[in-house]
Amino acid sequence: GIQVEQSPPDLILQEGANSTLRCNFSDSVNNLQWFHQNPWGQLINLFYIPSGTKQNGRLSATTVATERYSLLYISSSQTTDSGVYFCAVERGGSEKLVFGKGTKLTVNP
Amino acid sequence: IAGITQAPTSQILAAGRRMTLRCTQDMRHNAMYWYRQDLGLGLRLIHYSNTAGTTGKGEVPDGYSVSRANTDDFPLTLASAVPSQTSVYFCASKPEGGLLGDYGYTFGSGTRLTVV
């Protein structure tokens, strides 16, 4: 099956710092999403981005489908950004969203 | 507010008991899914439904059953709970295609189940 690798596994930042999270995937996909799982366990959809670039406030994401990777950028990080960030992909006809192991982000005040 | 509602939020269940986790969405999404999240194993698909009246098995279907009588509801049943089914369960849905071309999954808030 398709493999999804995220890096780094852990990231500790001071409030105000910027960061880049990476997601590599092993096959072509028709769906790629970034999720934030907050400390309360909720999975929040950040971006649906099978290709191209999107921005939402301090967050932006870029997927280069031909090279099979996606990047999530967090600028001016805040303590509320803490949690685990998951990349998830779906191949056409697979009926399954495959998750990476996540990047655990801790933003300290 | 449009989204997915899961109930209960958490539950402690005696082994051998029957339990149904409820999931309701109000977005008129055709496809719905049940995932379980376990430390070190990530999120794994249990069952899915592409449309009302149809269901399919995911990666870890054993011990679970689902039904899809209508578009909005997708309950997950544990016929006879075992401790290995202790997990956090997430329901999700996905549209055929949104106005903005957003085909992304939406997840509920989860049900934390402990089987003792």
| Cβ A6 vs Cβ A89: under 8 Å | no
Q: Which residues of A touch B55 (CB under 8 A)?
A: none
Q: Give the strand pairing for A103-108 and A10-14.
A: parallel
Q: Is A79 helix (H, G, I), strand (E, B) or coil?
A: helix
Per-residue pLDDT, B41: 83
Q: Which of B 46-85 lie inside 8 A of A, CB atoms? A: 48, 50, 56, 58-59
Partnered with residue B23 across adjacent β-strands are: B6
> How far is Cα A3 from Cα A106, in angstroms, rounded to an integer?
25
* Distance in angstroms (rounded) separating the CA atoms of residues A100 and A6: 6
The whole-number pLDDT of residue B97 equals: 58
Q: How far is CA A93 from CA A52, A74, A90, A97, B63, in A?
A: 22, 32, 8, 11, 25
Number of inter-chain CB pairs under 8 A, A vs B: 45
Can you tell me whether residue A65 is helix, strand or coil? helix
Is the CB of residue B87 less than 8 Å from the CB of residue B64? Answer: no
Digit-coded pLDDT (tens) for B70-111: 999 999 999 999 999 999 999 999 987 544 567 789 999 999
Mean per-residue pLDDT of chain B: 92
A65: left (phi over 0), alpha (psi -120 to 50) or beta: alpha
Kindly report, residue by residue over A79-102, the tens digit of the pLDDT.
999 999 999 999 877 778 899 999
Which chain B residues are within 8 Å of A101, Cβ to Cβ?
42
